Structure 1
Amino acid sequence: MSEAALTEAPALTPQFCFNEKLLRDFLRLSRSTIDDSIAQNLNALMTPARQGFDPSSTAVRQIDSNTRKSIDPTTCQGFKDNVLFPSWQTRSDVLTYCAGVATSPDPDDPDLILRETEFARDRERVVNERLDPYSARFFPREARTESLANLVRNQRTVEDIIRARTWGMVAERCGDPASWEDALNNWRHSNQR
């Protein structure tokens, strides 16, 4: 899959957001191609042949993580600017759009009539908790906008965790002292997003 396909946003429509499986699959695929394989992506940026092979490097087993060589800053910045941040921004755009859909009225809700019928039936119900202590139970169906809002909230939490983990590795290998939020905001400002 090309880098452009990894960061390309799907067609943002309410139907895309309400198809929770499709939304989850997009987020999962985007995360798996960039964030879940961040160590491999960063290793691919290394050019070991630039310095040549040092036979003494095999004399001692290297188990200390501090002996890792950092990546060329220009290469690292290119990776962040062209792959990592666009991927993060695309996922942020999708989640922001879907959050907007979740907070908007939904005139096309297919379960609206069914939910209204259930509420009417519940209002007519006679509750006698002395005879049946469970008769007061009523579990209304959740509107699809509420379900979408919960999904977006959960995915934003997942996104924060994944970005922190990914940025920890990027900061270690590239020597970037900024937080991921600051680095992403700086990239957004430089790209007028």
Structure 2
Amino acid sequence: MTQTSSTAAPMLTPRFCFDERLFRDFLRLSRSTIDDSITQNLNALMTPAREGFDPSSTAVRQTESGSRKTINPAACQSFKDNVLFPSWQTRSDVLTYCAGVATSPDPEDPDLILRQTESARDREREVNERLDPYSARFFPREARTESLANLIRNERTIEEIIRARTWGMVSEKCTGSSTWEEALNDWRQSHQK
């Protein structure tokens, strides 16, 4: 049986975090490999031939019976331990690392001098809204760390939704009643180095 492998962890550097396209591509690829195709991944764990083929099963359309079958608990546990949780952990590690980058000073910010210049000009600006109602509409440039922090917040929210959806499907096909957070924390504790 071939199992889908989780996406390899990228080399974590501030440059990786600030490259929004690369950062999002990693998350998208990791999610599509495991979470977006969770039904196919779980169905691949089932071995219907073990029960034998019943030719009469093709005479009537099977609507619910096939989707309610549970998977061998050992195969389920192996999938969760070797594919699902490592993938989630890799994404958690990337999000945590990049959140740290977003809260650290950024001496290499290419727009730092431009923002400082704009800020100095804005302090000297006189705003008379009676003469120009739009004069107060200055929008300062956002530091790339602020932009990264917003991106991380959004991606963490997306991650929560995706994990809840994936875990719902895993719980339906595999035995177990814990939440995804509890299951992931249990896996982390059992796999600590």
| Bin of the TM-score, shorter chain as denominator length | over 0.9
Aligned residue for 2:105?
105
Mark the runs of 5 or more structure 1 residues left unpaired by the alignment.
none
- Higher mean C-alpha displacement, 173-182 vs 78-87: 173-182
Tell me by how many angstroms 1:67 deviates. Answer: 5.6
Aligned residue for 1:28?
28
Measured at CA, do residues 33 and 52 of structure 1 come closer, stay the same or move farther in structure 2, by a change above 3 Å? same
Tell me by how many angstroms 1:86 deviates. Answer: 0.2
- Residues 40-60 of structure 1, C-alpha deviations (whole Å, 9 max, x = no match): 001111111111112332343
Q: Does 1:115 align with 2:109?
A: no
Q: How far apart in 2 are the matches of 1:72 and 1:140?
A: 57
- Residues 7-59 of structure 1, C-alpha deviations (whole Å, 9 max, x = no match): 32100000000111100000000000000000000111111111111233234
Say if 1:17 and 1:23, in contact at 8 Å, map to a contact too.
yes
Say if 2:128 and 2:135, in contact at 8 Å, map to a contact too.
yes
Q: Secondary structure at the match of 1:7?
A: coil
Q: How many residues align?
A: 191
Q: Which amino acid letter does the alignment assign opposite residue 61 of structure 2? A: R
Taking structure 1 as the reference length, what is the TM-score of the superposition? 0.94
Q: How far apart in 1 are the matches of 2:68 and 2:179?
A: 21
Say if 1:45 and 1:71, in contact at 8 Å, map to a contact too.
yes
Say if 1:129 and 1:135, in contact at 8 Å, map to a contact too.
yes
- Higher mean C-alpha displacement, 63-72 vs 158-167: 63-72
Q: Secondary structure at the match of 2:10?
A: coil
Say if 1:167 and 1:180, in contact at 8 Å, map to a contact too.
yes
Q: How far apart in 2 are the matches of 1:3 and 1:56?
A: 33
Q: Secondary structure at the match of 2:139?
A: coil
**Structure ranking higher in helix proportion:** 1
- Higher mean C-alpha displacement, 50-59 vs 135-144: 50-59
Aligned residue for 2:134?
134
Taking structure 2 as the reference length, what is the TM-score of the superposition? 0.94
Say if 2:39 and 2:169, in contact at 8 Å, map to a contact too.
yes
Which structure 2 residues correspond to residues 6-21 of structure 1 after superposition, within 5 A? 6-21=6-21
Aligned residue for 1:191?
191
Aligned residue for 1:76?
76
- Residues 153-182 of structure 1, C-alpha deviations (whole Å, 9 max, x = no match): 000000000000000000000122111000
Tell me by how many angstroms 1:188 deviates. Answer: 0.3
- Residues 103-135 of structure 1, C-alpha deviations (whole Å, 9 max, x = no match): 001111110000001111111111111111111
Measured at CA, do residues 119 and 72 of structure 1 come closer, stay the same or move farther in structure 2, by a change above 3 Å? same
- Higher mean C-alpha displacement, 61-70 vs 153-162: 61-70
Aligned identity (percent) is: 79
